[in-house]
Structure 1
Amino acid sequence: MKFFLDENVNQGMISHLASIFRRHEFVGVKEISSKGMDDIELFDHVAMHRCDVFVTGDLMQLRRENEREACRAAGLHWIGIHQVHATGYHTIAGPASTLVHALPFIIERLAATPPPTFFRLKKSERNNTRVFDTAGRL
């Protein structure tokens, strides 16, 4: 399966996702020359590059019927991930961890589901939020 990461998704995730999900391909705006492209045109462009899944941080695409229709017409599955408004490594760690956790379930479901299907992922941990249960001195 081939995944496209929209320009509003940290492009640094591409190599990390590819190293974890080796049976799948991950590309971004640089690989298919799509920087700044209008979303309606972008869906066809992504499909022309043989991508199966469109990954974006623009969750409003689900509410804009013309964009939903363009994604549907292109035959693309859609994954929406929340943007993390933070600094430093949090900008990639939150969305990356959410996507890494969700992709095995999504891939399994997509194997049995004809396109197009959408997945709106839950919010990842926010800046200054701890993901551990307890912490203390040993």
Structure 2
Amino acid sequence: MRILIDENVPVQMLEMLRRLLPEHEVRHVSEIKWAGKKDLALLPDAARRGFQAFLTKDGRQLEIPSESAAIKKSGMHHIRFSHGHKGMAGLGLAMGAVIAAMPLIVRELEETDEQRLVHIKGLNPATKHRFDLVDPAKSPPSYWPR
């Protein structure tokens, strides 16, 4: 699987993901000179270049109809994460959640031919599941274009 990491994701996560997912190609937008590129242009370009998944911290993308439509049209899996804590502690929790979830998520995504929307939940020892997986064709969220 080819995974593109958005510029709002710490570049430090790149090497960890590459080590955890050695059979997959993981690239950061800064590596391919796409830093600063608007999502409406980035998403179709990424899909044309064969990326199958997009990892971002930009959860608001899904609230903007034009961006939701671009995500849907790209056909790429959309993987997002967020964190409620500020500073380095928040960054550490977010990175930990992403690193812990991505091998499981990639395994799930490899088993489907359909686009998926993934929300990585924050680290919480009491939580059984660390992410939500949605099939927008069967159960579209309210923000998903109809």
For the aligned pair, the TM-score class normalised by the smaller chain equals: 0.7 to 0.9
Deviation at 1:117, TM superposition (A): 0.8
**One-letter amino acid of the structure 2 residue matched with residue 4 of structure 1:** L
Q: Hey, what's the Cα distance between the residues in 2 that align with 1:7 and 1:91?
A: 18
The 3-state SS of whatever aligns with 1:30 is coil
Q: Distance in 2 between matches of 1:58 and 1:82?
A: 8
Q: Matched residues in 2 for 1:50 and 1:92: separation?
A: 29
Q: Distance in 2 between matches of 1:118 and 1:51?
A: 15
* Change beyond 3 A, Cα 1:62–1:50: same
For residue 114 of structure 1, what is the aligned residue in structure 2? 113
Q: Could you report, residue by residue, the CA deviation over 1:47-98 in whole angstroms, capped at 9, with x for unpaired residues?
A: 23321110110101122221111112111100011145213xx465322211
Matched, 1:42 2:42: yes
The answer to whether the Cα contact below 8 Å between 1:13 and 1:92 also exists between their aligned partners in 2 is no
2:92 corresponds to which residue? Answer: 93
For 2:87, give the aligned amino acid: A
**Does the CA contact (< 8 Å) of 2:54 and 2:76 recur in 1?**
yes
Task: Flag structure 2 segments of 5+ consecutive residues without an equivalent.
Answer: 126-146
TM-score, normalised with respect to structure 1 = 0.79
Cα contact 2:20–2:103 (8 A) shared by 1:
no
Structure 1 unaligned segments of length 5 or more: list them: 126-130, 132-138
Distance 2:93 2:38 in 1: 26
Q: Which amino acid aligns with 1:121?
A: I
1:103 matches 2:102: yes
Tell me by how many angstroms 1:114 deviates.
Answer: 2.2
Corresponding residue number in structure 2 for 1:72: 72
The amino acid that maps onto 2:82 is H
Can you list the C-alpha shifts for 1:92-137, whole angstroms capped at 9, x where unaligned?
5322211122122212221222232110111246xxxxx7xxxxxx
TM-score by length of 2: 0.75
On the 8 A contact 1:75/1:116 being kept in 2, the answer is: yes
Paired amino acid for 1:65: P
Choose between structure 1 and 2: higher strand proportion: 2
Q: C-alpha separation between the residues in 1 aligned to 2:114 and 2:28?
A: 20
Cα gap change, 1:51 to 1:93, in 2 (>3 Å): same
